[in-house]
Chain A
């Protein structure tokens, strides 16, 4: 029950009781008292007997025709009045609902009249400010950290590569240097991914939006996915690919497709399957990428988009990657104003569904 309903009911009940008491008092005053009076003076009894009955009906009438409308009026009035006085709370709720980790800079509107709600808004805004501050600091920290890592990484990669070119190295030394370089490059990719996400969080990545033939990108990606899947004997299918043009950033959409395909192959089993499809659903483009494999337990499913989240530690050791692929996918989707969903059946079939708007211009994120 909302506060508004509760208050209105209370109010109506009190009103009703008050009016009833008034009615009873009136009845006593007008009917009972004259009657007792008449008992004391029996000579006026007969004439006033009829009078009494009239009066009784009058009082019942008054109660019927005044108390009930008054109660109804008070319910209606109370309902309206509550709405008016609780409107700032509703506005506050609405404004607070719109605030998430990504738009903490927003503040709730203040009425400025100094009442309790205004005071609450002020306190709430203060809290938002502090939250915003700490979120920003975390973002800046990630951004600065990833920038700072790039110079030493450049040197490390460069020096290792230079060492690798040294013709006097023995094959064991060369192998060690090459392995070192592989790991350094992996580190470089992680730092790259982190930089991208930190910038995206700070709203510093502008998408280059243009009309894109999404089906062509999907077909292109299908060809790459087949090649990626071949060494493990995984079969890749494109079950549908409708002609779809949408407003998006070509490079980021290709990155999205490749990351999804790459995941579908990596978390698969030998001789497994990957099924992709692109369909139009009203004014949405619906892309699905499904893969066989070990499946994802329901309790960790909501966390797979988290940065550096690794589901099963035993399994993830075997899978090479930055741990940021799905986070980047999620960012690309939301930057295009779309939604992403992941489902995993106990049979091991995992399906990622991406829905992108065909018409509306995507926002920059």
Chain B
């Protein structure tokens, strides 16, 4: 998987590159819009992380140019302005996702991962992690053959986590996908739900599946 990071702020570009490389991505970095267009023309990328505020040609203009050239590479927009209107504008211009600054690195990595594997997403109706299964049609959750009662929200949270097993999921991304919040509520809502979910799926079992990574997010995996 090869990703292009377009960010004029050198330090930000550097840690984004490191984080993506740590996840196994090959990363190219550009510091302005024109270079980005040239790079995207020369190399077929699997995804582009594009800052909106760039010197010269801005991110939205780069995005429009790409789409005009029928380049369908998935694009994640970054913005320091974080306006609701900007998000809508970006998505209308053909972006696939949008992340306001300051973002959580785990968040960014999770989103890039989601973008680049979008086509190959797990479409099975039965999700499975170790002995935990979730039927996305009947909404039935089982572990070790025993049924687990879930509220609607818990179900959505579990489904979200089970769709990317072994991968770190950021708090903002969970709030966005499970709660449909476009703002950071500044509450420990996600923590509390995770705790409840953990009681239901992990409490009675020796092997814990749901893990919290301090400062980064949550993940569901079958090895400790």
A-to-B contact residues, CB < 8 Å: 147, 150-151, 153-162, 164-165, 174, 177-178, 181-182, 184-186, 188-189, 191-192, 195, 199, 204-206, 208, 223-224, 227-228, 230-231, 251, 254-255, 258-259, 262, 321-322, 325
Does A155 contact B104, Cβ atoms closer than 8 Å? Answer: no
Q: Chain B residues near A254 (CB, 8 Å)?
A: 180-181
User: What per-residue 1/0 map shows which CB atoms of B97-121 lie under 8 Å from chain A?
Assistant: 0001111111000000000000000
Q: Which of A151, A178, A199, A227 contacts B83 (CB 8 A)?
A: A199
Q: Chain B residues near A227 (CB, 8 Å)?
A: 189, 192-193, 196
**Can you list 27 A-B pairs with a CB-CB distance of less than 8 A?**
A150-B102, A153-B102, A154-B9, A154-B102, A154-B103, A155-B11, A157-B102, A158-B16, A158-B102, A161-B15, A161-B105, A164-B215, A165-B22, A177-B215, A182-B215, A188-B184, A189-B184, A192-B100, A204-B83, A205-B83, A224-B189, A227-B193, A230-B192, A255-B183, A255-B185, A258-B185, A325-B186
Alpha-carbon gap, A155 to B9, bound state (A): 9
Which B144-182 residues sit within 8 Å CB-CB of chain A? 151, 153, 179-182
Q: Chain A residues near B11 (CB, 8 Å)?
A: 155, 158-159
**Known pairs A151-B80, A157-B102, A161-B215; A223 contacts B151 (CB<8 A):** yes
Q: Chain B residues near A228 (CB, 8 Å)?
A: 187-189, 192
User: What per-residue 1/0 map shows which CB atoms of B202-220 lie under 8 Å from chain A?
Assistant: 0000000000001110000
Across the A-B interface, give the 3 residue pairs with the lowest CB-CB distance, nearest first.
A154-B102, A161-B105, A158-B15
Alpha-carbon gap, A293 to B188, bound state (A): 20
Q: Chain B residues near A186 (CB, 8 Å)?
A: 186
Does B187 contact A251, Cβ atoms closer than 8 Å? Answer: no
Given A155-B12, A162-B19, 4 other A-B residues pairs in contact with their CB atoms under 8 A: A154-B103, A164-B215, A184-B102, A192-B183
Alpha-carbon gap, A325 to B183, bound state (A): 12
Residue of B nearest to A191 (CB): B102
Does B214 contact A322, Cβ atoms closer than 8 Å? Answer: no
Does B153 contact A223, Cβ atoms closer than 8 Å? Answer: yes
Does A151 contact B101, Cβ atoms closer than 8 Å? Answer: yes
Q: Which of B105, B183, B186, B196 contacts A157 (CB 8 A)?
A: B105
Q: Chain B residues near A182 (CB, 8 Å)?
A: 215
Does A154 contact B12, Cβ atoms closer than 8 Å? Answer: yes
Alpha-carbon gap, A145 to B12, bound state (A): 19
Q: Chain B residues near A157 (CB, 8 Å)?
A: 102-105
Total contacting residues, chain B, CB less than 8 A: 41
Alpha-carbon gap, A185 to B15, bound state (A): 17
Alpha-carbon gap, A210 to B66, bound state (A): 32
**Known pairs A155-B11, A182-B215, A227-B196; A206 contacts B151 (CB<8 A):** no
Residue of A nearest to B107 (CB): A161
Does A150 contact B80, Cβ atoms closer than 8 Å? Answer: yes
Does B12 contact A162, Cβ atoms closer than 8 Å? Answer: no
B68, chain A: closest CB distance, angstroms: 27
Alpha-carbon gap, A249 to B146, bound state (A): 42
Does B106 contact A161, Cβ atoms closer than 8 Å? Answer: yes
Which B1-30 residues sit within 8 Å CB-CB of chain A? 9, 11-12, 15-16, 18-19, 22
Does B185 contact A162, Cβ atoms closer than 8 Å? Answer: no
Q: Chain A residues near B153 (CB, 8 Å)?
A: 223-224
Does B84 touch A at the CB level, under 8 Å?
A: yes
Q: Chain B residues near A230 (CB, 8 Å)?
A: 192, 196
Q: Chain A residues near B88 (CB, 8 Å)?
A: 208
Residue of A nearest to B153 (CB): A223
Alpha-carbon gap, A156 to B9, bound state (A): 13
Does B55 touch A at the CB level, under 8 Å?
A: no
A233, chain B: closest CB distance, angstroms: 13
Does B44 touch A at the CB level, under 8 Å?
A: no
Q: Which of B19, B186, B188 contacts A189 (CB 8 A)?
A: B186
Does A151 contact B12, Cβ atoms closer than 8 Å? Answer: yes
Does A154 contact B80, Cβ atoms closer than 8 Å? Answer: yes
Does B184 contact A192, Cβ atoms closer than 8 Å? Answer: yes
A115, chain B: closest CB distance, angstroms: 47
Q: Which of A188, A231, A262, A321 contacts B102 (CB 8 A)?
A: A188
Does B85 touch A at the CB level, under 8 Å?
A: yes
